[in-house]
Amino acid sequence: MMPSWMLQGGSANLQGSSGTSLQGGSGAAIQPAGGSNLQVTANPMNGGTLNTGNTAVLGATTQVAPAVDPAVAAAQAKAAADAARATALRGEITNIANTIKDLFNSRYGQVDASAGEQTGKLNDRFATESGDITKQVENENQKLGAAHAAGGSFDSSYRGNNVDTVTQSGNNQIRDLGTELQDNIAKIAAWITQQKAGFDAQKGGIDTILSHLGEETNPDNLAQIRAGLDQRIADLKAGSADNNTMAQNASALNAVAPTSTRAQALKTTLSQIVAGNADTSQKASIGARLIQSAGLTPQEQQQLATEFQSQLSGPEKQTPQA
């Protein structure tokens, strides 16, 4: 349907029945019924030609962005920064934890090496000392035979008893050394088990941290976890050098299998010598050789020799005090 237009005098208004009006003058406007304005300019100098400026699209609406709360924006920025920091810390913690586990893995081999070295030393010591005792028994028996032969009692029961005493004393000492060797080897095996169990427990603790790492989102808590692992790895690296670890292991092995335990076994053997039928000088010689070959410390040797001499020279034969 075509709109009907009305011409209203000097106001230069054309108004259609549809509600659209054309207003003349220097600022005429065509106003549709919908309310949007189309601004035009009529220039009388160019014959009334309408020049349009910016043209609005009929029916268009303008979207205005809502205002942003600065506090909300700051909170969102902090949350994003915390998330990024937490992600970085989790990666760093994982790397440190794996390094710690590698250090423990290397110590398994160091424990085995230390234990093997200590066991080898104990076996070598037993072979040397038992061989020395056997030679000493043979030498002492030869001396006894020569002494009895010179006194005309080579075939007497006295010589036989003295030889038996020396031989039995030597055998007892070798037996005691063998028993001590087996005890020490068992102690070393227990030490190995204890050390490795400790490593397993500590590695298990590291694995527990890693398994729950993804649950922790607070970067401050993650930073504390990393600080603890940093200190742990520093402590481990300080003693991880082979010479340090081997020295620590050797000290520990000497503590669980000390040579001083041999002194008590030797006291029993010396008491048997004192109770024998050999003369005092022969007993003193045998005892001194056994003490020297027992692998004791100088202080232990001196203490045991003093007790043995006291027994030999005392009015009564007393067993050395434990």
* Contact (Cβ atoms closer than 8 angstroms) between residue 5 and residue 16: yes
Task: Name which residue leads in pLDDT, 52 or 149.
Answer: 149
Task: Name which residue leads in pLDDT, 198 or 304.
Answer: 198
97 falls within a domain: yes
Q: Return d(Cα 47, Cα 50) in angstroms, integer.
A: 9
233 falls within a domain: yes
243 falls within a domain: yes
From the list 252, 6, 236, the residue with the least C-alpha distance to 101 is 236
pLDDT of residue 277: 61
2 falls within a domain: no
Q: Where are the beta strands (DSSP E) in the chain?
A: 5-8, 13-16, 21-23, 29-31, 38-43, 49-52
| Mean pLDDT over each residue of the chain, to the nearest integer | 75
Total domain count for the chain? 1
Give residue 129's domain range. 78-313
Q: How many CB atoms lie within 10 A of CB 198?
A: 13
Q: Return d(Cα 114, Cα 240) in angstroms, integer.
A: 14
Vertex 95: Cα angle to 89 and 98 (nearest 5): 135
294 falls within a domain: yes
Q: Is the pLDDT of residue 202 over 80?
A: yes
pLDDT in tens, 92-130: 999 999 999 998 898 898 899 989 988 988 888 888 878
36 falls within a domain: no
CA within 13 Å, CB half, 147: 15
In which band, very low, low, confident or very high, does the pLDDT at 164 lie, cut at 50, 70 and 90? confident
| Total-model pTM | 0.56
Structure tokens at 176: 């005691």
pLDDT of residue 94: 95
166 falls within a domain: yes
50 falls within a domain: no
Q: Return d(Cα 269, Cα 168) in angstroms, integer.
A: 9
- Work out whether the CA dihedral 315, 316, 319, 322 comes out positive or negative: negative
pLDDT in tens, 211-254: 999 999 999 999 999 999 999 888 887 766 554 677 788 788 87
Q: Return d(Cα 279, Cα 44) in angstroms, integer.
A: 157
